[in-house]
Chain A
């Protein structure tokens, strides 16, 4: 096996992140753990460079590394999005970690490794490479979740995540093994060809599919495998929650599309009904549970479960346009959810609050802090799905694909659920603008906070009004 220069350039974004992670560790060691700002800087620069390398791949479609890596629109788009998420998380974190008294330099290399894992996942063209990416991402996340060592909730969250994550990885690996036993190959394309030639399902295939489906359901947190996610999201340091509710979820979804949407497409009709039910139950569960939360972090955690339900609608719809729609929605979801978490983290640092993420902390902040108020409003609007935001177009594309392929019940269920969701998202806006401010409304205003809010809200509006570039990228998925 030999690699050409094209191969090397094709995976340049990943290589840059490997270098970044190693450099960050060395820099952290050199600073003797006293000051992690240099580590942060290295990481941030690494993400920018890697992101630029990723964007330069726009327009190329093909396979690299002897058929192990897809170089297509999905890969390019999500590499860039993951770099953006990583970059914003990195610059956003110092002030928060300082506030929470978490002073650990390894935060940044772990973040980098996790993003690297996500990139490998979305690019993977076979099940094994995907699994390696998944583990790279997950193991970094297990540590990140429990990073707040003095907080029992953080430890509990880390433990839960580790156990659940290990479980789902085991399911996944077993499924991969069985799939290999059936097909004789781990390449997605070979799997497609195998089932195209013989679309009957033997018991071994059924077991493989069931195990893989269970593994994915854990990772993307859909009913009935969603229980771990809320506690983990609540217990983890908030910046880690923001990160893991967007990036890793998007990465898992992309692979889900690649495996269940594309590779197993010839036999997809066998589980369309099952997935439809999972989608509906996930939306209903997420939204109904979110309705009654008094803690914003938990509310957002449940709302991200609901969004997984909407995203599944796109996978059920199952044609090329539907996958592009799901990809667009994922991009929108990553931006708006990250934004919402970022804004909530800022709100929670308001003077005089106990850091417990209660809704009350939002009271009267809208007029006192226009930037925070407007951007949080944009994130909420996007989560509701109102124009001119990306969230609106994402829902529109996904539900449109569902109607086109005849899944009208799913589209109607999705829209009705969006109305339920409106109620709790609007509550955030109500408290910000319509409640009288209580006590001190001062919040810290470091520059990175402002940058994060502005970048995310501008991007949400921008791709909400001009979706064409993103959609055309997503539609260029490798066969």
Chain B
């Protein structure tokens, strides 16, 4: 069974092709380049280099968010349209979990971070114990609140993702020596890890598959607020 995994929710593009659970090939592009331009053609190039025909794909795994709205949509649109076209299942994996892989052998909990601007982050709480476990669901939260919350736990905390840089001082000031960070060369998403993790997840239907934005669109959030005001 050949599986294609795609992550376009961060600046890096991460692709992987696995056959019966073994990595056939993977690709990471970690420079600033438009996913809408490159993602499909890089999938084509990777599959061609592995001699895999599109029709041989049996499952598509995709990072479903959170992350850059546009970035996530590009991956999800490609994945669901490929899945629908090839009549194969699609499986969504958290974009945050895709960043968690360097924490696999860490003795403690893993916290992937994505900068969501204005002091907010997309984050979640994970742990590797017989596979990846979600301790706390992905969320959009003020970094200061999240750190207070993490400080209540006793664990050592491993922070992953390229955006750790932005918050490292703040993290240290709250968690002190309990905080660890991913090294620079491992601060990128891993489609391989997503594909492995997805082996234990149920198939989803392509038509109904949508990104997990976590946040409402700004216009919608404002509109809802106004409705509440109107209704007292």
Do these two chains really belong together in a complex?
A: no
